[in-house]
Amino acid sequence: MSSLTNHTIETPNERQNRHKAMEAIKVLNTLREGFKTPPNAMEYFYNLFEEVYCNQKALHCDKVKVGTMCIQIPSEIIYALDGVPIRLCNGFYADDEIGSDLLPQKACPLVKASVGHLASKNVIDKPDMIYSPTTCDQKTKAGSIIESFGYEVVDVAFPRTKESEISREYFRRSIREFSADLSSKMGKKLSRKNLKAAISKIGYAQSLYHKLSEFRKNRAVPILGNDMFLVTNAFFFDKIDNWIAACEKLVSELEQRVQNAVHVAGKVSPRIVYTGSPPIFPNYKVPLIIEDSDAIIVADETCSSNRMFNDRVAVDEWFVNDMIDSLADKYLKACTCPVFTKNDDRIRRIIELVRSHNADGVIYQAFAGCTVYELEQRSVLEAMEREGISILYIESDYSPSQQGQLSTRVEAFVESLKIKNRNKK
Amino acid sequence: MKRKIQNFINNINLLKVRFWIQLTTFILFVYGGYFAIDFGSKLPMFTCPYNTQSAGTCYLLPLQHQLAMPAQILLGGAGIGVLIGLLTFVFWFIFLNKAWCGYACPIGTFQDWLTGLRKTLGIRYSTYTQNQFEKLSKIKYILLAIVILVPLLIGVGAIGNDWSAAFCKICPARMISPMFSGDFSQWVIDFSTTTAIVLTALGMIFSALFLVGSFVKKRFFCFFCPMSALHFIFSKFAIVQLRKDGSKCTKCGDCYSVCDMQIKDIADDVTSTNILRDDCILCLKCVAACPEDDVLHFDILNFKAFSSTKEGFEKRMGMEKPKGAFDE
């Protein structure tokens, strides 16, 4: 009798959590067990993602959480004011489905998932306020949709040309305004000391990323591209000190691996530079297919990884305003986001990554609906052709379907690279 | 071994090294006269002959004197003298290129010290807008034209001898430099002729502007310096160069944000290899602030003597492993 009366019906939130946990654990298990020899230091990251996305563990109960919609909000300033930046870009299909009811059919899955996640009100480490840089159309509009769910959303004006002096001035002012706004909300002032300390700490975190990237230039690549995506993805929400400590461990383990020439892929596995719409956990669909197809991702040009860490801040006199200006310049001028009018910097970055990492080809993924990446596809393909670099362009979304079609195309591309390499010899 | 030395150089604390070099050259050129040191009168920097203790002096004064010779003499044998003067100037110049400005010029060093004073007082520097910058940057060519054309006009008799060394009369270095050895006698207005009144009064104004300007703006005077314009004509032939590998540049703007001269090309130009611009003082702060390996480099002939490196950047910007938390 009791089993009949005691039954409970799963609430929508519980169902959402269950679905998300399923998505998360599937990817984590693949990374843990699907490849040969993941580094021991990766265990920290596997556990972190499992805790947060399968067990709904909150990490920042005691801190003010500042949500950011894109990478152009300087986390240095947030840390300096004692907040925790939480990047809200989302990779769950379960959230994408919720977002689909709120956004147009053909909208970008990343934006739909981010909106869906916040719409569900089922948010671990719920942001106390959200800053939304006006980057692409969909992100820009998403800000006001999210506001209607009852979040405090502040738009941070962001120019879409970056060559002009006006844009530089504009974004410098914009970031100054952002600092003032956050400073008043946090009830704390930016000082030379706290801002410099934050810049140094982020700078150090970036230097760890640079060291990890450096290892991937070797012939024997000590870490999978998918594992790297997980590491950089953790930076979205992890406690920064823990992240730094875990990366230090990873760096020293990989150092050892490089000495022992440990290679995580096959001897003839083609080396791939990954670019395009960002893979955000657990949407590692395409990166996983690539590394499952006997290729190895040695570098990437995406905003969930390389673009977050690549560029650093230099300041001459270390006054608060100098630091803010230099931060603004870095977040605008060095940014290779396709929202800008011109695409040259991004193309140069991809070529430079191919050369420095000795890559055999580029895989360019765009989310169906991620208009800017779709638009840029042509110019990048043309540039790669000019440079004699093989490139594969694929479109995908967050749905679990498409696997067969995508893996066939990726496998064919990888095969062609192998043949090309063999013929070279 | 070679690698080690290179690493050591690329990791240096440039600001400190530069401070000591500047202090040394300042003492050498400003007070060298006390030790009977003399590098001649064709030096490519503002070590002013009005300061009697200078060890070698600025080329602009003899240049003006030589060009002011009567035209028929100048076009005759005396022209060779002018040419030799110019060659001596170029000889000195090619060794250091514009590093004469960034490392040796006493007037430049003095401005850096004023900057240091401002920094200690906690006052932020001012900058020009890009528009102002482009306009002001042309003034040095106008001043260079004054250096060359006014003496030639004297030579053909179009204007009187009271215009002799006209540029020096309005140059702030004439008043500032002698002060270094305790001589304030240049701070006067010469009432002998109308021209003299006007020129020396202008000099007084410019000197006052110099002191105020370089307090609020880094290297205020160097934007207007005709020597800098003259340098630029010969800079391609110098044995030291500032070069850039644009393919690896990410345009992050770090070099631009530390540039005393606000040279935008240093960050935004990714096609030129030779990145030395007319306003550059070759202080190399940009190389020290560049976070990418080998993007900016200071070359002696074709050898990379000082290159930007990730490691050097992290050291100089204090981005090595932090010790404390943020709010300590």
What pLDDT digit, counting tens, does each position of B283-312 carry?
Answer: 999 999 999 999 999 999 989 999 999 999
pLDDT at res. A40: 95
**A194, A311, A322 ranked by CB distance to B250: nearest:** A311
- Crossing angle (nearest 10°) for helices B194-216 and B106-120: 50
Q: Is A82 on the interface with B (CB under 8 A)?
A: yes
Q: Is A201 on the interface with B (CB under 8 A)?
A: yes
Q: pLDDT over 90 for what percent of chain A?
A: 93
Beta carbons of A200 and B257 less than 8 Å apart:
no
**Integer angstrom CA distances of residue B193 from B163, B199, B276:** 10, 10, 42
Amino acid at A323: M
Token pair for B327: 């709010």
**B247, B319, B320 ranked by CB distance to A352: nearest:** B247
Torsion of the alpha carbons at B69, B74, B79 and B81, rounded to the nearest 10? -30
Token pair for A45: 């990251």
**B257, B264, B267 ranked by CB distance to A315: nearest:** B257
Question: Whose structure tokens read 């977040």?
Answer: A331
| Whether the Cβ atoms of residue B57 and residue B43 lie closer than 8 Å to each other | yes
**B125, B249, B290 ranked by CB distance to A317: nearest:** B125
Beta carbons of A197 and B252 less than 8 Å apart:
no
Instruction: Give the chain A residue whose CA is nearest to the CA of B258.
Output: A316
DSSP string, A115-149: HHHHHTT--TT--SEEEEE--SHHHHHHHHHHHTT
pLDDT at res. A199: 95
Show which of residues 228-257 on chain A sit within 8 Å of chain B, judged by CB atoms: 241
Q: Is A326 on the interface with B (CB under 8 A)?
A: yes
Q: Which of A348-352, B155-159, B171-175 has the lowest mean pLDDT?
A: B155-159
> pLDDT tens across A171-181, in order?
999 999 999 99
Task: Identify from B248, B250, B256 which residue to disrupt to test chain A contact, counting A C-beta atoms within 10 A and taking the largest count.
Answer: B250
Q: Is A352 on the interface with B (CB under 8 A)?
A: yes
Token pair for A272: 């791939």
Token pair for B143: 């001043």
pLDDT at res. B1: 82
- What ranges in A34-66 are assigned the alpha helix state H? 43-53
Quick one: how far is CA A137 from the chain centroid?
Answer: 19
Residue B235: name the closest of B94, B47, B60 by CA. B94
- Interface size A-B, in CB pairs within 8 Å, comes to 111
Amino acid at A66: V
Q: Is A197 on the interface with B (CB under 8 A)?
A: yes
Instruction: Give the chain B residue whose CA is nearest to the CA of A209.
Output: B310
pLDDT at res. A420: 94
Beta carbons of B254 and A210 less than 8 Å apart:
no
pLDDT at res. B130: 84
pLDDT at res. B325: 47
Cα–Cα dist A162/A168, whole Å: 7
Q: Is B2 on the interface with A (CB under 8 A)?
A: no
**Integer angstrom CA distances of residue A137 from A90, A101, A133:** 17, 18, 11
Instruction: Give the chain B residue whose CA is nearest to the CA of A76.
Output: B326
Q: Is the pLDDT of residue B326 over 90?
A: no
Q: Is B326 on the interface with A (CB under 8 A)?
A: yes
Quick one: how far is CA A3 from the chain centroid?
Answer: 45
State the smallest CA–CA distance between residue B308 and chain A in angstroms.
Answer: 13
Instruction: Give the chain B residue whose CA is nearest to the CA of A307.
Output: B250
State the smallest CA–CA distance between residue B300 and chain A in angstroms.
Answer: 26
Helix (H, G, I), strand (E, B) or coil at A300: strand
Q: pLDDT over 70 for what percent of chain A?
A: 99
State the smallest CA–CA distance between residue B322 and chain A in angstroms.
Answer: 6
Which H/E stretch holds residue A114?
helix A109-119
ipTM of the complex: 0.91
Quick one: how far is CA A50 from the chain centroid?
Answer: 18
**A82, A204, A333 ranked by CB distance to B252: nearest:** A333
Which residues of chain B have a CB within 8 Å of the CB of A210?
310
**A163, A197, A311 ranked by CB distance to B252: nearest:** A311
The sheet carrying A361-367 orders its strands as A296-301, A271-276, A361-367, A390-396
> pLDDT tens across B94-131, in order?
999 999 999 999 999 999 999 999 999 999 888 888 88
State the smallest CA–CA distance between residue B314 and chain A in angstroms.
Answer: 8
**A194, A197, A312 ranked by CB distance to B291: nearest:** A312
State the smallest CA–CA distance between residue B312 and chain A in angstroms.
Answer: 12
pLDDT at res. B321: 80
Segment A271-287 mean pLDDT: 96
Token pair for A406: 């995508």
Domain residues of chain B, as ranges? 14-232, 240-316
- Tell me the pLDDT of chain B averaged across its residues: 92
**Peptide bond preceding A282 in cis form (omega within 30 of 0):** yes
State the smallest CA–CA distance between residue B274 and chain A in angstroms.
Answer: 19
Neighbours of A61 (CB within 10 A): 7
**A207, A314, A321 ranked by CB distance to B289: nearest:** A314
Cα–Cα dist A235/A377, whole Å: 28
Q: Is B269 on the interface with A (CB under 8 A)?
A: no
Q: Is A411 on the interface with B (CB under 8 A)?
A: no
Segment B237-251 mean pLDDT: 94
**B246, B248, B257 ranked by CB distance to A326: nearest:** B257
> pLDDT tens across A80-122, in order?
999 999 999 999 999 999 999 999 989 999 999 999 999 998 9
Segment A201-209 mean pLDDT: 95
State the smallest CA–CA distance between residue A324 and chain B in angstroms.
Answer: 11
| Whether the Cβ atoms of residue A317 and residue B125 lie closer than 8 Å to each other | yes
Cα–Cα dist A291/A303, whole Å: 20
Segment A322-348 mean pLDDT: 94
**A198, A312, A322 ranked by CB distance to B252: nearest:** A312
Which residues of chain B have a CB within 8 Å of the CB of A197?
322, 324-326, 328
> pLDDT tens across A353-407, in order?
999 999 999 999 999 999 999 999 999 999 999 999 999 999 999 998 888 999 9
Cα–Cα dist A245/A266, whole Å: 30
> pLDDT tens across B11-51, in order?
999 999 999 999 999 999 999 999 999 999 999 999 999 99
| Whether the Cβ atoms of residue B38 and residue B46 lie closer than 8 Å to each other | no
pLDDT at res. B73: 87
Cα–Cα dist A15/A9, whole Å: 10
Segment A257-274 mean pLDDT: 95
Which residues of chain A have a CB within 8 Å of the CB of B125?
317
Q: Is B130 on the interface with A (CB under 8 A)?
A: yes
Q: Is B46 on the interface with A (CB under 8 A)?
A: no
Cα–Cα dist B309/B324, whole Å: 26
Beta carbons of B322 and A321 less than 8 Å apart:
no
Instruction: Give the chain B residue whose CA is nearest to the CA of A331.
Output: B252
Q: Which residues pair with A362 in a beta bridge?
A: A273, A391
- What ranges in chain B are assigned the alpha helix state H? 2-10, 14-31, 60-67, 71-75, 78-96, 99, 106-120, 130-136, 139-155, 166-170, 172-180, 194-216, 226-234, 254-258, 265-268, 285-289, 310-316
Show which of residues 131-160 on chain B sit within 8 Å of chain A, judged by CB atoms: none
Which residues of chain A have a CB within 8 Å of the CB of B267?
333
Q: Is A177 on the interface with B (CB under 8 A)?
A: no
**A200, A311, A330 ranked by CB distance to B318: nearest:** A200
State the smallest CA–CA distance between residue B234 and chain A in angstroms.
Answer: 29
Q: Is the pLDDT of residue B176 over 50?
A: yes
The DSSP letter of residue A9 is P
State the smallest CA–CA distance between residue A306 and chain B in angstroms.
Answer: 12
Q: Is the pLDDT of residue A311 over 80?
A: yes
pLDDT at res. A2: 62
Segment B84-94 mean pLDDT: 95
